[in-house]
Structure 1
Amino acid sequence: MTERSLPRAVRQAMPVAREVAVEVAKQHGVCIRPIPLKRLDVHTGRWEVVDVPCGATLDAKCPPCAKRNRQLRMAQCREGWHLDQEPAITPDGPTDEQRWLVEFRADLQARRDQAAALGEDTTDWDAAIEGVDAEINQAGMRGSVLGRTAPKRTRSTRRRQDAPNLPKRTMTATTLGRTFESSDGKVYRPSLFVTLTLPSYGKVRDGVPVDPETYDYARAARDALHFSKLVDRFVQNLRRVAGYDVQYFATVEPQKRLAPHLHMAIRGTLPRAEVKQIAAATYHQVWWPKTDMVLFDGAHLPVWEDGTGYLDPATGEVLPTWDEALDQLDTDQDAEPLHVIRFGDQIDVKGVLAGTPDADQCIRYLSKYLTKSLGDTLDTDNPAQRHHAARMVEALRFEPCSPACPNWLRYGIQPKHAKPGMTPGRCRSKAHKPDHLGYAGRRVLVSRKWSNKTLAEHKQDRRTWVLEALGQPDEPTDPHRYIWKPVPAGDANVPPLAMRLLRSVAERQRWRTHMAQLQAQADGQDLSATDLGRAA
Structure 2
Amino acid sequence: MTHPHDRALPRAVRQAMPLARDVLEEVAKLHGVCIRPVALRRLDVVTGKAEIIDVPCGSTLDSKCPPCAKRNRQLRMAQCREGWHLDAEPAITPDESTEEQRWLVEFRADMQAKRDAAEQAGDDTADLDAVLVGLDEEINAAGMRGSVTGSAVSKRTRSTRRRQDAPNLPKRKMTDTTLGRTFTSSDGKVYRPSLFVTLTLPSYGKVRDGVPIDPDTYDYRRAARDALHFPKVIDRFVQNLRRVAGYDVQYFASVEPQKRLAPHLHMAIRGTLPRAEIKQIAAATYHQVWWPSADEVRFNGDHLPVWDEQSGYVDPATGEVLPTWDQALDHLDTDEDAEPLHVIRFGTQVDVQGVLSGTPDADQCIRYLSKYLTKSIGDTLDGGQAQREHATRMVDALRYEPCSPACPNWLRYGVQPKNAKPGMQPGRCRSKAHKPEHLGYAGRRVLVSRKWSNKTLAEHKQDRRTWVLEALGQADEPTDPHRYIWRPIPAADANVPSLAMRLLRSVRERQRWRAHLRELEATAGQDLSATPQAA
Give the TM-score taking structure 2 as reference length: 0.94
Shift of 1:236: 0.3
CA–CA distance in structure 2, aligned partners of residues 127 and 314 of structure 1 = 39
Give the match for residue 309 of structure 2: 306
Give the match for residue 528 of structure 1: none
Shift of 1:231: 0.3
Give the match for residue 475 of structure 1: 477
CA–CA distance in structure 2, aligned partners of residues 205 and 158 of structure 1 = 39
Give the match for residue 159 of structure 2: 156
- Secondary structure of 2:5's counterpart equals coil
CA–CA distance in structure 1, aligned partners of residues 176 and 296 of structure 2 = 49
Matched, 1:259 2:262: yes
* Cα displacement string for residues 315-336 of structure 1 (whole angstroms, at most 9, x for unaligned residues): 2222111111111100011111
Give the match for residue 68 of structure 2: 65
CA–CA distance in structure 2, aligned partners of residues 232 and 524 of structure 1 = 44
Matches within 5 A, 1:289-368: 289-368=292-371
* Cα displacement string for residues 129-155 of structure 1 (whole angstroms, at most 9, x for unaligned residues): 444443333322223334555432121
CA–CA distance in structure 1, aligned partners of residues 233 and 9 of structure 2 = 62
Q: Tell me whether 458-467 or 77-86 shows the greater mean CA deviation.
A: 458-467
- Secondary structure of 2:6's counterpart equals coil
Give the match for residue 374 of structure 2: 371
Structure 2, unpaired ranges of 5+? 528-534
CA–CA distance in structure 1, aligned partners of residues 21 and 420 of structure 2 = 46
- Out of 459, 462, 474, the position equivalent to 1:460 is 462
- Secondary structure of 1:261's counterpart equals strand
CA–CA distance in structure 2, aligned partners of residues 108 and 422 of structure 1 = 38
- Secondary structure of 1:51's counterpart equals strand
- Secondary structure of 1:165's counterpart equals coil
Give the match for residue 230 of structure 2: 227
- Residue identity opposite 2:241 in structure 1: L
Give the match for residue 438 of structure 1: 440
CA–CA distance in structure 2, aligned partners of residues 347 and 469 of structure 1 = 44
Give the match for residue 408 of structure 1: 410
- Residue identity opposite 1:372 in structure 2: K
- Out of 234, 243, 246, the position equivalent to 1:243 is 246
Shift of 1:310: 1.2
Count how many residue pairs are aligned between Structure 1 and Structure 2.
525
Give the match for residue 423 of structure 2: 421
Q: Tell me whether 308-317 or 508-517 shows the greater mean CA deviation.
A: 308-317
Shift of 1:376: 1.0
Matched, 1:391 2:393: yes
Give the match for residue 200 of structure 1: 203
Change (3 A) 1:352 1:136: same
Change (3 A) 1:149 1:460: closer
Shift of 1:456: 1.3
CA–CA distance in structure 1, aligned partners of residues 13 and 457 of structure 2 = 49
Give the match for residue 530 of structure 1: none
Shift of 1:113: 5.7
Matched, 1:498 2:500: yes
- Out of 43, 46, 53, the position equivalent to 2:56 is 53
- Secondary structure of 2:393's counterpart equals helix
Give the match for residue 183 of structure 1: 186
* Cα displacement string for residues 255-305 of structure 1 (whole angstroms, at most 9, x for unaligned residues): 111110000000000000010000000000000001111111111111112
Change (3 A) 1:417 1:389: same
Shift of 1:482: 1.1
CA–CA distance in structure 1, aligned partners of residues 307 and 116 of structure 2 = 32
CA–CA distance in structure 2, aligned partners of residues 501 and 524 of structure 1 = 30
* Cα displacement string for residues 83-139 of structure 1 (whole angstroms, at most 9, x for unaligned residues): 000111011122233333334444555555666667776665555544444333332
- Out of 22, 27, 34, the position equivalent to 1:24 is 27
* Cα displacement string for residues 188-209 of structure 1 (whole angstroms, at most 9, x for unaligned residues): 0000000000000001111110
Change (3 A) 1:340 1:134: same
Change (3 A) 1:225 1:123: farther
- Residue identity opposite 1:459 in structure 2: K
- Residue identity opposite 2:159 in structure 1: S
Shift of 1:221: 0.3
Change (3 A) 1:121 1:409: farther
Give the match for residue 213 of structure 1: 216
Change (3 A) 1:196 1:333: same
Shift of 1:378: 1.4
- Secondary structure of 1:491's counterpart equals coil
- Secondary structure of 2:264's counterpart equals strand
CA–CA distance in structure 2, aligned partners of residues 202 and 165 of structure 1 = 28
CA–CA distance in structure 2, aligned partners of residues 524 and 56 of structure 1 = 32
Give the match for residue 451 of structure 2: 449
* Cα displacement string for residues 433-475 of structure 1 (whole angstroms, at most 9, x for unaligned residues): 0111111010000000001111111111111111111111221
- Secondary structure of 1:3's counterpart equals helix
- Secondary structure of 1:2's counterpart equals helix
CA–CA distance in structure 2, aligned partners of residues 147 and 279 of structure 1 = 34
- Residue identity opposite 1:443 in structure 2: R
Give the match for residue 280 of structure 2: 277
CA–CA distance in structure 2, aligned partners of residues 132 and 319 of structure 1 = 34
CA–CA distance in structure 2, aligned partners of residues 127 and 289 of structure 1 = 31
Give the RMSD, CA atoms, in angstroms. 2.0
CA–CA distance in structure 1, aligned partners of residues 280 and 272 of structure 2 = 14
CA–CA distance in structure 1, aligned partners of residues 339 and 523 of structure 2 = 72
CA–CA distance in structure 1, aligned partners of residues 129 and 15 of structure 2 = 63
Identity %: 81
Change (3 A) 1:348 1:21: same
- Out of 508, 519, 522, the position equivalent to 1:520 is 522
* Cα displacement string for residues 160-203 of structure 1 (whole angstroms, at most 9, x for unaligned residues): 00000101111100000000001100000000000000000001
